[in-house]
Amino acid sequence: MFSAIKTLHQGVDVCINNAGLARPEPLLSGKTEGWRTMIDVNVMAVSICTREAYQSMKERNIDDGHIININSMNGHSVVPQSVVHFYSATKYAVTALTEGLRQELREARTHIRATCISPGLVETGFAFKLHDNDPERAAATYESIRCLKAEDMANAVIYVLSAPPHVQIGDIQMRPTEQIS
C-alpha cells in the first residue's frame, strides 16, 4: 500500500489509522484466533502503518505531518461486557502507542504530530462483526440511542488537522450524548 502511495502521490503527509475490529471473545473463554485477529488489526496494523507513514515523511523531509489514530472510548475504560474485554485491551494499547509515538516524535525533534480520537458508539458495521451470529442484536445496538455518525468523526479529524502548528491535540474523547458508558 505504501509503495503504491509513493508511486501515485509521492508519499504520506497525513496518516489516519482507522483500524477497529472486535470479536466476541471473552477473557475466560475466548478463542485464541479471535484474540490474534484483534491484535493484528487493532495493534499491529496501526503500528505498521504508523512506522511506514513516518518513514515516508522522513524521506521527504516532511516536518509538519500528522498521524491520527482512531481509537475507542474502550481504550480509556472497561465496560462490564465480557465480549469486549479483550477488544478493550487492544484499544488501551492504541492509547499507549499514540502517547509513545508522540514522545518519540519529540525525541526525533520533528514537528509531526500524533493524535488519538476516541469515539463511543458510532453507527458503522462494527456491531455486525462483533455480533455476527446475531444480526438483530447488532442492529439493536444502533437503534437504542442516537449514535455518532461518520460525519462526526470526519469533523473531529478536520478539527485536529486545522489546529495551529504549535498546538498538539493529544486525545479527543467523544460519545453520543445519550451513551451511558
- How big is the CA angle at 15 (ends 9 and 20), to the nearest 5 degrees? 130
Catalytic annotation, pick one of 87, 92, 142, 159: 87
pLDDT at 19: 81
Provide the pLDDT for residue 141: 77
Quote the mean pLDDT of the chain: 94
Residues of the chain with pLDDT under 70: none
Find residue 114's DSSP bridge partners. 67
Structure confidence at residue 52 (pLDDT):
98
Element at 117 (helix H, strand E): strand 113-119
Residue 134 has a pLDDT of 80
**Residue 49: exposed, middle, or buried by beta-carbon count in 10 A (0-12, 13-18, 19+)?**
buried
User: What is the per-residue pLDDT for 125?
Assistant: 80
pTM (2 d.p.): 0.93
Summarize pLDDT for 4-40 with one digit per residue, the tens.
988 899 999 999 999 889 999 999 999 999 999 999 9
State residue 86's pLDDT score.
98
Q: Is 87 a residue of the active site?
A: yes
pLDDT at 123: 86
At how many degrees (to 10) do helices 45-59 and 2-9 cross? 30
